[in-house]
Structure 1
Amino acid sequence: MKQSSLFLTLCLVFGSLAWGQAPTPEQVRQSVAQSVIELKAQPMAVGGVENRFVPSGSEPIAIRIYRPAASSSAKSAALPIIYHIHGGAWVAGDLDTHDNICRRLCHDANAVVVAVNYRRPPEHPYPASTDDAMTVLSWIQANRATLSQSGPLILLGDSAGGNFVASTCLRNAESAKPIPIAAQVLVNPALDIRPGSVTFKTYAMFINWGMPDMTKANEPYASPLVSTQLNKMPPTTIVVGEIDEIREDGVAMHQKLQAAGVKSTLFEQKGAGHFGPYWCADHSSVKPALTFVLGQIAAVK
């Protein structure tokens, strides 16, 4: 898996650009979704899948709950909860594109997985996505009795989803009554979207869609890497690809967290670029990274 993530996941988009046309958000979404489908990865069976909506003003937030195979009541009450926030260049990705990886996490980690379908730009610019992520975090805490009463809560996201996970952990830590978060897992995270950053240079078109006012890119909830409150973060696992365009975001966050006294573990998959659709589809090419992530989740108490 050495190809560029942009070539693999957004070929349709850049095909449009080659013809002198700017892509539409729907073209981007279709391109990302199609790249996952074309991998033809088989979904893992789990105990149950439930689609629900979380109330949120005038527009409820769609979520999907994955439950592992039935176990005793005592064991079910202590299952880990993985709150999954998908990636997709901020504007793409949804519950279906990341269905396979959520099933894998549910099955192999023996965890309840709650996946969120947050609002996306450009229809809903910043901070709509992060607001939705926070709303569902609060819903998870309020519904512990029906999910897992005492199991550890772990937040996990890939690419832009890693940005949202880090932002959510920061917002939660700075709230009046923080929700206990046992760990966060950031996979190929995009953590600095300020103009001039490597992530901005790689994904400028999509970041601009979500940030009509680019001065807000300097806010820590938009670019978590610039936060001065990283000491408040939970224990963290960061996964990067050796030749990923935005690798340095994950490495820099790992170094900053360690300097702030936060336990942080960095895993680099050799020869890998941005995982993109391979991660979403639970493709065999990301097995080294996924195996490491599952081991880290199993160690969370």
Structure 2
Amino acid sequence: MPVVLDPDASAVYKAFQEANRPPYESMTPPEAREMYLAARFVSNPEPPELEATAELAIPAPHGSIPARIYTPKRLRKTDGLAPCLVFFHGGGWVIGNLDSHDVVCRKLAHEGELIVISVDYRLAPEHRFPAAFDDALAATRWVADNAKRLGIDADRLFVGGDSAGGNLAAATALAARDGGPKLAGQVLIYPATDLAMNTPSHSEPETSILLTHSVTRWFIANYLGDADVSDWRVSPARAELAGLPPAYVLVAGADPLRDEGNAYAQRLREAGIAVTHRYFPGQFHGFFTMGKLLNQANIAASEISAWLRTPG
């Protein structure tokens, strides 16, 4: 079935083409990070007002992992404790940081009525796999271990992220299933689940939009290095999925990751996991952070927030 962009997504894509930005893979990683970060001013919606935000330093063997905690004005507290989403930003494990996904985290905290902790994991190629995975899991376990002090209900702890962050969330959920902490759910926003790139959507011209096939290969090469693509920490789809927490899986139609996202949702369901599988056929990869330009992004954020309020 051919991919047809929604009119607003088509207009945004046309604007990106006319801007004639150099492809990320033609730059150094620091240059790519700077351009990606600057683009947020054009596409991010206005952030909601929160009760508080604060910077965190999560202890880790290599020093500390920077993070940011978002506390909304309204929290769904039980016995004085609130649910929490540990969030991992997208960016191909190479670009992105706390600021690139600041507005998204504010929206999820506000509409989901829960605490959000965004994790600034180490980036490739300076820190290749498994650095990002190690940081994601370490941060999740630290939040669980310090939940009460942070005002968090450890029984209502979620992980989530978009793209590469969705990959980290899925892998963290697998690790937590086998070694703790117990998670209440996982939010996988157009996640990378199998880095072999062997599905049809990794070669269709219609899916090579913004996240092109070429830049996808660049991201994966920078992240993996010599790592084995079949390692479940790299490709969560290679793992057995039984026993995982409920999942919200969002997939975009014009996305190289479309097929692996759809397949992961199906495999979760076949493994007996409660799955909410949301498909946006007319959107491209990356649309979720573009709420100023794409109303479908705001709809997605509201739907995820509602799911976080009533998972499963």
Q: TM-score range by the shorter chain?
A: 0.7 to 0.9
Deviations 1:119-156 (A, max 9, x none): 01000000000000011011101111123135511111
Aligned to 1:61: 65
Of 96, 100, 105, the residue aligned with 2:103 is: 100
Letter in 2 for 1:36: R
Aligned to 2:117: 114
SS of 2:170's equivalent in the other structure is helix
Label 1:242 to 1:144 Cα distance change in 2 as closer, same or farther (>3 A). Answer: same
1:34 aligns with 2:43: no
Between the aligned partners of 1:282 and 1:100, the Cα distance in structure 2 is 9
SS of 1:144's equivalent in the other structure is coil
| 1:281 Cα deviation after fit | 5.0
1:279 aligns with 2:312: no
Label 1:125 to 1:197 Cα distance change in 2 as closer, same or farther (>3 A). Answer: farther
Letter in 2 for 1:226: R
1:208 aligns with 2:210: no
TM-score, normalising length: structure 1: 0.87
Deviations 1:164-187 (A, max 9, x none): 000101111122xx2110000101
Label 1:194 to 1:28 Cα distance change in 2 as closer, same or farther (>3 A). Answer: same
Moved more, 29-38 or 80-89: 29-38
Aligned to 1:157: 161
Aligned to 2:234: 222
Letter in 1 for 2:165: G
| 1:75 Cα deviation after fit | 4.7
Letter in 1 for 2:218: M
Gap regions ≥5 residues in structure 2: 1-7, 204-212
Q: Indicate the percent of aligned positions where both proteins have the same amino acid.
A: 28
How many corresponding residue pairs? Answer: 289
Label 1:57 to 1:286 Cα distance change in 2 as closer, same or farther (>3 A). Answer: same
TM-score, normalising length: structure 2: 0.84
Label 1:198 to 1:93 Cα distance change in 2 as closer, same or farther (>3 A). Answer: farther
Label 1:251 to 1:140 Cα distance change in 2 as closer, same or farther (>3 A). Answer: same
RMSD: 2.6
Conserved? CA contact 1:238–1:265, under 8 Å: yes
Gap regions ≥5 residues in structure 1: none
Q: Normalized per residue, which structure has more strand?
A: 2
Superposed counterparts of 1:169-208, under 5 Å: 169-175=173-179, 178-194=180-196, 196-197=198-199, 202=213, 203-208=216-221
| 1:112 Cα deviation after fit | 0.6
Conserved? CA contact 2:246–2:311, under 8 Å: no
| 1:8 Cα deviation after fit | 4.8
Conserved? CA contact 1:190–1:199, under 8 Å: no
Of 135, 138, 141, the residue aligned with 1:135 is: 138
Conserved? CA contact 2:194–2:238, under 8 Å: yes
| 1:86 Cα deviation after fit | 0.7
Label 1:149 to 1:235 Cα distance change in 2 as closer, same or farther (>3 A). Answer: closer
Aligned to 1:2: 9
1:295 aligns with 2:306: yes
Aligned to 1:249: 260
Of 88, 93, 96, the residue aligned with 2:91 is: 88
Deviations 1:203-253 (A, max 9, x none): 001110111115x111111011111x2002111110111222221111000
Label 1:62 to 1:240 Cα distance change in 2 as closer, same or farther (>3 A). Answer: same
